[in-house]
Chains A and B, each alone.
Chain A
Amino acid sequence: MAEEQDVKSAEAELKAGMMPGQAADPEVGSKEGSKSGSKEGLTAEGEAQPKPEGAAGELKRAESQDRLVSKSVKSIIFSVFSPTLIKKMASSKVVTPELYDKEGYPVDGGLMDIRLGVIDPGLKCKTCGSKLKECSGHFGYIELARPIIHIKFIDLVLNLLKCSCRDCGRILIPKNKIDKAKKELADIEREMGIEERRRSVKDIIASLKTINKCPWCNVKQQKITIEKPTTFLEAEKRISPIEIRARLEKIPDDDLELFGLSPKHMRPEWSVLTILPIPPVTMRPSITLESGERSEDDLTHKLGDIVRINQRLFENINAGAPEIIIEDLWDLLQYHVTTYFDNEVAQLPPARHRSGQPLKTLTERIKSKEGRIRHNLAGKRTNFSARTVISPDPMLEINEVGVPYEIAMKLTVPERVNPWNIAYLKQFVKNGPKKYPGANYVVRPDGKKKKLTDETIEASMEELQPGYIVERQLLDGDIAVFNRQPSLHRMSMMCHRIKILPYRTLRLNPVVCHPYNADFDGDEMNLHIPQTEEARAEAEILMEVQTQLISPRYGLSVIGCIQDSISGIYLLTRDMEVSRHIAIDLLAATGLTEFSRLPKKEKITGKEVVSALLPDDFNFTGRSKTPMSRSSSAKGRAEGTIVEIRGGKLVNGVLDSNNLGEGSGLLLRTLHKRYGKEFTIDLLGKLFRLGIEVLLRFGFSAIISDTDLPENAQKAIRETLEQAERDVQELISLFQNNKLDTFPGRTLRETLELRILEVLNKARNRTGEIVAEFASPNSPTMVMAESGARGNLLNLAQMAACVGQQAMRGKRIEKGYHGRTLSSFKKGDLSSSARGFIANGFKSGLNPHEFFFGAMTGRDSLMDTALRTPKSGYLYRRLANAMQDLKVEYDHTVRDAAKRIIQFIYGEDGVDVSKSENGVINVSRIIETMVEGK
């Protein structure tokens, strides 16, 4: 998903080691992460952040050593800071807009005051005494010279003013009705939840807006309006924030409930600020540029503005300046505070940098994809990961991943020293970081981490004793999580076993391309090394490739043979016969070492070769893709369609994509059910290698002459197309003479189009049939199409005979000039060629106008893809967000996080799709095995 690593490099360079550091404090993390992220990703050396020292650090270390969770967060309560609380938690009062003095030291009472936290190395926080990175910062405050309305509470203030008495402050509901209303709200909340309560509060407020006399003190109410963004008017006269605050103060706690407020958490007058909290410097760190100049954070800039204007306002008030000047300054302060909270308020010009780029203030920090919540909180970054280009290697097992030495020597696995493995681990330490297999770090029991270098190896060797942790380099068989973005389903992240290999790419068995949706045209993939026993166990048990074999989407195998391998096995099982030693060669290439299952004879059929891999008590009946009529020999024609395996022997039929491919057929599914995941994955690997070996040995090249057709076939195609052309002309003349029968519910013109489309499609299909009939069934192109390895008969027909009608939006092409598609046609020409019918094949070549039509639909489909991706991505995000907390409970109901029942039993029968066979329990198969197998 989008939040995953965005570390990318233009060159396909190796990037082992750390991704940008995991930040303890998200505020700090984001700044550093975004600025230095890519740099760090390229050059990091797997170095952990320096461990903190001091008492707090000690404690943290002890905890991480034992991996004990001593505390966990149980719940989070949201509420609003009261002015008293702001003052109480503040460590300093900010009184001057100055940041640093002449020496570059933070000014006391300024915005960078070191009582607010430290961001410079070497300085100590005046509040807590800790150094950089240890002190998480402290809040300060400023006293506003005049109250300011908080922009985010504008709607609330408006509602409160409108619905409470301007004199006595009571809500405009008569005494006798108030209890009833409260009870109703309480009932609604209990029965339908907070969201529904909010809605009824809205209704109450709407109903109160029209009341113009207070039922409590009979004072007439004035009409209150708002002049956006922050000015309130009562009967066309401005109410100052002081007055507003006074009125809000008058509203009694008892009435707040009906406004949807909880007085414990939010008093209405708090929405008019008299005091403004200053966030700690650690959440707005300044960066020192190369020139030594300091560049302050956007928030600091904005706060500087606020403080400056606030001071000026103070001075003017004290000096007794005229009211107009004070009002102006007050408005300016209101503007600054508003943009400090939100710089995208509709009616205000955004505050800008000197360069003209808008400031990123509080709201913008939190909001949207790049904001705090989605970027830093819901999306995590990780160390111990690598990313490179991938390439295929069929000789790897399916659940292996080939890792280059360069990566293996950077990434590490921590292993704890004990009396039994100390000798073994010492060997790694001895090799050090430069000699494979070595170790990069040694961690002492007190948590101190030491990097191994040529100088420290000796000392570390001496020191090593039980309780130490050695961070050794990767070895064959280590566990890793392998991932390719976009991670659309859970099979996009699977656990593989590491195999260290030379060269500089990550390698995987091409069989697993499908679940990752990977190809090798430059794709990159990520590798993660789990660091704890728990993580490794979980990855191995839940995420390893063989456990993901059956898709939870449709209950069939997501991996299967692909491309050449399918062609190979198809050719082998169709009608191949080989000598015994070739058969043994083929099988040996799959990794088989035991050949006793081969029949004892000199000539061995392909079916028998494949059978040698199957377990000898395996029975299966399925259907192949290849239709009965299409086979090279008369004998071949008799077989086909039904694939039968009896007693581990393929007795009938050919194996093609229907049985070997991903997401189709039940062969792999049945194997999985009977013999388990380990066996299936092993067999699949062998079958794959067998298929490839067949092609390697006997050769397989698709060539242009595959699309050659005999003279009579070409003639037949020409005649078909000419006939279609004539039929279309006939239809057009019928149309022009108004003699065409209209279809019900259609106009004459629509009828014509439908009829023409029908004729032309029929013609194209007919040419396809001719091609299928006459093209050599043994040509590699045909083999690929028939076995389902790649391409289909339509592709072949388009090359050999006729490309067919180009359609846009389900219609023939009609765009372009007035009344015609291209200037080479007459106006109103409805004939087939003028409306996008391509009568030529790709081999014979397209006419200019045909080429143009092809380009039109080609571009149209390109547009389609480009527009579809974000749309479906958004749909997916919404679905995932809406349904992420649905899970099956112990009572088998499906419930959401609030324990609301969504389904009483999952999917109406409680069947897990990934344990079913294509979504169903295969009754007939079970009965068959039970009844036959006694």
Chain B
Amino acid sequence: MSANNDQEMLPKKIRDELSEQTKGVSEAKAKKAAEAIVQEYQNAQVEPGESVGIVSAESIGEPGTQMTLNTFHFAGVAEMNVTMGLPRIIEILDGRSEISTPMMEIYLKGANAKGKDVQEIALSIKETKLNEITTGFHIDIAERSVTIELNEEKMRMFGITMNHVNNALKGTKGYTLSSGKEGIVLKKKDKEENINALYVDKEKLKQLHIKGVKGISQVLPIKRGDEYIIITAGTNLKEVLGLDFVDESRTVSNDIYEIAATLGIEAARQTIINEVFKVIESQGLNVDIRHIMLVADTMCNLGVVKGITRYGVVSEKASVLARASFETPIKHIINASLIGEEDKLDSVVENVMINQPTPVGTGLPGLAVKVHK
């Protein structure tokens, strides 16, 4: 049994810490210390049968009662307004695809990270819609046309030129473009006197995407540590990661589904861990990261993000009774009876229901004793 071999089994983090701290210590002592740590590590291992699931659920559920509900978190002046506290945890664990405050943290490469042109970059990412740079839309019923009055001051502010606008407007079908006295005039091609359609089109035009990355409604360049990053409201990870000034290795979104779609399930799992941990930390609570990992792993186990709801994780359970004891029992029992489903009674609630020991912890091992008559 060599000490070196044993050290191999230590997690990298502990090994690094060990070698860091035993620098300048005599070899014999270092070896002794290493052995002690291996011993300690082995003693601290979980015992088989430990019902880690319940422990994790308790560890997140119990502090949940202490979390605040309506926190809108501004840490200082220059921060985005994000949902925090219990609502955010619920949102994450539900596995909702639409989250209330989608957000990105965009890290920049090279000189940009040092603050070069950050403001400009930020503005270039921000999605600008047509009605943000106009003073008004007018409909001429007789002419069957829409006139768009542009606001030049705002255009300058957002860094938008006429070219941008014209390019965007090119896509509108069924209209001829011309520039009039008051602005851009769109004249309807067909002769139908459908005024309603004109109104609908006008409303559509207001939301026309002119410039920037779709879905990003607000940008906020801030300095974190000694580099500049851009925080955005709204996310579009796929497009942002494709921009050449973005450091794609560190840029994150808080939308789990988006992460799962663009970066894969492992990244989604990590995002769940990060996001839940962020909330718990901000509430000043102490919950070990292992518990959050276990929750995240349960949610991502099947390769897609499943919420902790009756449609998600719980519906995947093998036991009919376990599913029935959660929600909508009748549905589960009836569906089970249609195919003659068998409940093998190998999890907890079913055994509680029929008054038998549960197969976790001390209920796990079987013991056979030979009795001498």
Contact = CB atoms under 8 A, between A and B. Distances in A.
A373 B329 contact: yes
A898 interface: yes
A744 B40 CA distance: 52
Given A553-B59, A907-B294, A926-B37, A876 B64 contact: yes
Nearest to B72: A810
B281 to A, nearest CB: 12
Nearest to B329: A373
A872 B17 contact: no
Contact of A926 (B33, B54, B119, B356): B33
B289 interface: yes
B98 to A, nearest CB: 19
B308 to A, nearest CB: 5
Interface string B286-301: 1111110111011001
Interface string B69-91: 11111100110110000100110
| Interface hub of A75, A553, A810, A873 (most chain B Cβ within 10 A) | A553
B65 A488 contact: yes
Interface string B346-372: 111110111010011110100000000
Given A882-B308, A888-B47, A903-B294, A78 B333 contact: yes
B110 interface: no
Given A887-B53, A900-B301, A902-B294, A921 B44 contact: yes
Given A879-B93, A888-B48, A265 B337 contact: yes
A28 B78 CA distance: 64
Interface stretch (A174-182, A572-580, A830-838, A910-918): A910-918
A489 B63 CA distance: 10
A371 B46 CA distance: 37
A898 B318 contact: yes
A903 B290 CA distance: 11
A325 B214 CA distance: 66
A319 interface: no
A903 B344 contact: no
Nearest to A874: B90
Interface string B201-224: 000000000000000001111000
B61 A930 contact: no
Nearest to B316: A195
A261 B338 contact: yes
A394 B304 CA distance: 53
Contacts of B333: 78, 366
A898 B317 contact: yes
B338 A378 contact: no
A809 B334 CA distance: 46
Interface in A69-92: 72-80
A73 B25 CA distance: 61
B244 interface: no
Nearest to A72: B356
Contact of A553 (B22, B46, B58, B348): B58
A554 B286 contact: yes
Interface stretch (B133-141, B192-200, B320-328): B320-328
Contacts of A864: 68-70
Given A75-B345, A265-B340, A930-B36, A363 B317 contact: no
Interface string A851-894: 00000000000001001110111011011111111111110101
Given A885-B53, A888-B49, A553 B86 contact: no
Contacts of B340: 77-79, 262, 264-266
A78 B331 CA distance: 13
Nearest to A912: B46
Contacts of A73: 345, 354, 356
Contacts of B320: 76, 78
A807 to B, nearest CB: 10
Nearest to A194: B341
| Interface hub of A885, A913, A921 (most chain B Cβ within 10 A) | A885
A337 B36 CA distance: 72
A156 B338 contact: yes
A485 B345 CA distance: 28
A30 to B, nearest CB: 14
A592 B321 CA distance: 55
A615 B101 CA distance: 54
B48 A890 contact: yes
A79 B333 CA distance: 9
A911 B293 CA distance: 13
Contacts of B297: 894, 902-903
A754 interface: yes
Closest 9 CB pairs of A and B: A886-B53, A876-B61, A265-B340, A907-B290, A897-B347, A883-B53, A885-B347, A872-B64, A810-B72
13 contacts: A80-B338, A152-B334, A265-B340, A366-B329, A366-B330, A542-B362, A868-B69, A880-B58, A883-B54, A883-B298, A897-B318, A919-B290, A931-B25
